[in-house]
Chain A
């Protein structure tokens, strides 16, 4: 508003000072992120347009519960804007910037991490810092878990608030495959002797890109160059073994590598139909949840590769031009609360992994996070502790582009 219509802003300030000299009302534009009760006051009655991937019904219904709760407690109207790819939301913010819409953005909160965050941060399209001012931020114990302040090695600088954890896991149908391969290299050996029983989502679908990153980490023996911004030379050097590997692997995949599923869910469907025997997921509970709903047969088991797998945190961010920043922050803080995180990690609801440091909770609250892991389809906590760090975000688009360049036109 300040840039577009200075007169009207001045007029509003004038009116506020002249007509309401003793009022507790603050100016609509002024946000004091340290004064949380004032923020709550300001947020009342606002609508938060929360752009988040809408492809998972479990997450959608969890967010409906969040909306109802926010409405009751804070008078905030949460609108889940379901996007097929959060890149659409990033594009939208750019289009608004392009049109000079610096104050009336259509997005208040978005679910991102990795290269999307890096792109928005680099172009200064995010509001903040605000995340570490949240009363609930301390629950994540960022001092013990540095990944709460680092998104794919890029410092979050308080521009985003942790929401959920994810880790790459593999799952197999024990009816067809009893002893699943335990390393990236073993997958090739097994697939060569059992062609057509494995595939992965095509990059840039994020699970497919994660598979590439997992493969390159393992094949390059966690080359340190992967954790710094990518350069042409390093890329050539580090990924050479990856391309050899994929060149050998692809002819052995489902449809001889002439077709790749578009998403994690399509991969899951191929598993459910018996097209494939081995698949991967980025939610450790995915197979467990899908067996419960009948999408996957009960013979499915989850496991983590011997040398560990990539794990990351996804975050919530507020665009620089969001219209309802106060309500967006209240929403993010609520999503980080023990109550909301406990429900999110419950397999009966969203079934994700919490970002809260459970060890720091006292026994009275900790029980809320006890998940029944006896089910066969789940990975064990011991397995899940074998975690690999994400490479620098610049590697993701580089790997994706190289993959597309090599394999998208066969």
Chain B
């Protein structure tokens, strides 16, 4: 259990003098904040800002606090903010276990054991040595989720992670992702334009214009 808190204080992002968004919010442990808005409203820029790779052409101000600590001055890899993209983005040159091992902190104990346990937990027991190129869309999404969890983040960002899945699979993966994130007690921000995602997340909804 993580029990972290993610806070955005007066976060403003602008491009070419035009303000895209302004956000103030607090996401508690296991809570999922949904950010909605039409394309071009700056949803993805918000996630890039929090994760630490907003392009320099954007102007930004405000602070992002994780457990009260401002992470804005930290390099992306030291923020411990996990991110799920639209695609699973499993590294094609590593095995499933290689992908998971890559994500685990250097000092993690009993890595192999944690990996097989984690795979078992998401219904992919024995997939350790599989080539990620041979996984189905749903299997790849699960591995991506597990990889994120094993990297021991303090907060999680979801960038329309279900939009490329077909309807039935979307339901299944959505449930799995939200259940796992809640169970881990991670504060989560979900960016989507699918109303069903927002409803399933069950948390507060912030709408951008």
Query: Are A and B in contact, CB atoms below 8 Å, in the complex?
Result: no
